[in-house]
Amino acid sequence: MTEEERCAVRAGCNLATLSAAAKAALTQERAASAERQRLIYQQAERLHRMKRNSLKIEPELAKLGDLEPAVRRHLKKLIGAGPNGASQGS
């Protein structure tokens, strides 16, 4: 995808006007983003189940590399949601 096409997508252009190659690249980027999001949620939920053993959570977070900040944010949301999964104070 060219830089012009990328800017047009960000600006909200009609996706039907993009070239087939740009559409394919966009589809691939969306799939990669969805997979990354799935990994973030999966890791946060795994660490949330470990909450009784909090000494192991920090080293596990450190092993995640570039996913660590996003996993940490989602983990905080899970902890804040309480046992029912519903947000407290809402």
Q: What is the pLDDT of residues 19-38, one digit of tens each?
A: 898 889 989 999 999 999 99
Neighbours of 75 (CB within 10 A): 22
For 29, the token pair is 């980027």
Per DSSP, the three-state class of 13 is coil
What's the mean pLDDT when you consider all of the chain? 85
> What is the pTM (predicted TM-score) of this model?
0.67
pLDDT tens-digit series, residues 40-60? 999 999 988 887 777 888 899
> Residue 65 pLDDT > 70, yes or no?
yes
